[in-house]
Amino acid sequence: MKETMKYDIPELAAGIHDRVLTWQRTIHADPEIGFDTVRTAALVAGELRSAGVAVREGVGRTGVVGDIEVPGAAQCMALRADMDALPMDEENDVPHRSRNPGAAHMCGHDAHTAMLLGAAHVLAGRKEQLSCSVRFIFQPNEEALPGGAPAMIQEKCLEGIDCIFGLHIWPFLDTGCVGILPGPAMAQPDIWRITLTGKGGHAATPHETRDPVIAAAHLVSALQTVVARNVDPLDAAVLSVTQIHAGSADNIIPEQAEVRGTIRSFRKEVGETVRTRLREVARSVADTFGMEAEVKVTQGYPVVVNDATACAYAEKALENTVPTTRDVQPSLGGEDFSYYLEKTPGAFLFLGNRDVEKGIEHFCHHPRFQVDENALKIGVQTWLALVLRLFPEAISPDDVSGCSRSRGIPPED
């Protein structure tokens, strides 16, 4: 392994900041949804090539993979950013506001992409001093099942990788710090749909119908007991009803009503319990009202489980450069970064993005969500520190006491 060098990481990040901000605003103004990240991917590939990074395009349909290969390096670290926007409109009044109706970067993926591009440029310019090879993974379709990660993995984006890190803008933390959470960090997000089929008819003769609207109303109430009375209060789980669809006219009782929602859980056993009870309650309510219930549950991304040793390494790498905190709560939101962690040890970090004085406090997926310019600087510093401070003494035995060793994280000797 090459001799450890000292870097002024904040200075390196400051040197690329103007370009990072330009990339973020360019991507923000031209958002793309799902796997249709064609223009964003082209921008990423072009900028990586201009930095001297080897590029593969069309990975997992529209993903981009960049590599800095360091001759003789014993390890390869992967860094991942997502590129896709949300199917919603933006309400911010800013010059770089989304110009594409029905699409907006209200989850920070534009920032994720720009920050990783900035880190790639800096690291490519210091290839001769790197102790490890680095892979940059730019992924489409994080926001919608089945996610973009499985397609990227299928096309070997993790081949030869020893560890992986992800980073997400996080408005629950103040700008200037990074949250590091060993163990379960984000939940499994299932979605479900229940279709109740009864007998429609004229609203003036309800006695001749079997009204699915009435059944749907009872179903919504009954589903509230699933978590409350079937899950240990010490386990985290959510069952939310988010949609009800029925009817077409004021004087018609419809034949069908559809109820939809989500389940969130951190443990497989809990998730299975909630899914089973959802089906049982739906069919019981349907039987009570003399109708049929069709239940469809689509299981979401696995739980994001951060490797304890990777978290300890990240804390050491960021020491004296970026403040870190473990005072961050697990989120019942979902993330397909979990698929990478099932294959390779690593961690998903949370980048503070809250400044109340600036009015930057809306959470992800809000139409007025904003990225703090200062958070961009901290994000680039985080990526640089993870790579540039990769050295054997990065983790001492005390840091990983009681933790199982994982391949790909610097050894303790």
Alpha-helical segments (H) within 51-172: 109-124, 149-154
Q: Is residue 372 part of a domain?
A: yes
Per-residue three-class SS string for 234-263: CCCEEEEEEEEEECCCCCEECCEEEEEEEE
Same domain, 13 and 118: yes
* CATH number for the domain that contains residue 277: 3.30.70.360
CA angle 64, 66, 70 (to 5 degrees): 165
Q: Across all residues in the chain, what is the average pLDDT?
A: 93
Same domain, 252 and 392: no
Domain that holds residue 395: 9-186+303-400
Q: Is residue 345 part of a domain?
A: yes
What was the pLDDT predicted at 409? 45
* CATH number for the domain that contains residue 182: 3.40.630.10
Name all contacts of 224-232 with Cβ < 8 Å and 24+ positions apart: 225/281, 226/274, 226/277, 226/278, 226/281, 227/274, 230/273, 230/274, 230/277, 231/270, 231/273, 231/274, 232/270
Same domain, 27 and 168: yes
Same domain, 95 and 35: yes
Mean pLDDT of 119-129: 95
Domain boundary among 298, 326, 345: 298
Q: 301 an active-site residue? A: yes
Express each pLDDT in 277-314 by its tens digit: 999 999 999 999 999 999 999 999 999 999 999 999 99
* Number of domains forming the structure of the chain: 2
Positive or negative, the CA dihedral 305, 308, 309, 311 is positive
Domain boundary among 298, 332, 359: 298
Same domain, 36 and 146: yes
What was the pLDDT predicted at 274? 98
Express each pLDDT in 322-358 by its tens digit: 999 999 999 999 999 999 999 999 999 999 999 999 9
Q: With beta carbons less than 8 A apart as the criterion, state whether 286 and 217 touch.
A: no
Q: Is the predicted pLDDT of residue 6 greater than 80, yes or no?
A: no
Positive or negative, the CA dihedral 49, 51, 54, 59 is negative
Same domain, 26 and 104: yes
Domain boundary among 298, 327, 350: 298
Q: 313 an active-site residue? A: no
Q: Is the predicted pLDDT of residue 58 greater than 70, yes or no?
A: yes
Catalytic site residue from 69, 258, 373, 412? 373
Q: How confident is the model at residue 389 (pLDDT cuts 50, 70, 90)?
A: confident
What was the pLDDT predicted at 7? 79
pTM: 0.90
Express each pLDDT in 228-255 by its tens digit: 999 999 999 999 999 999 999 999 999 9
Separation between Cα atoms, residue 352 and residue 344, nearest integer Å: 25
Mean pLDDT of 215-233: 97
Q: What is the rounded radius of gyration, in angstroms, for the C-alpha atoms of the chain? A: 24
Same domain, 276 and 390: no
Separation between Cα atoms, residue 395 and residue 119, nearest integer Å: 23
Catalytic site residue from 47, 142, 143, 301? 301
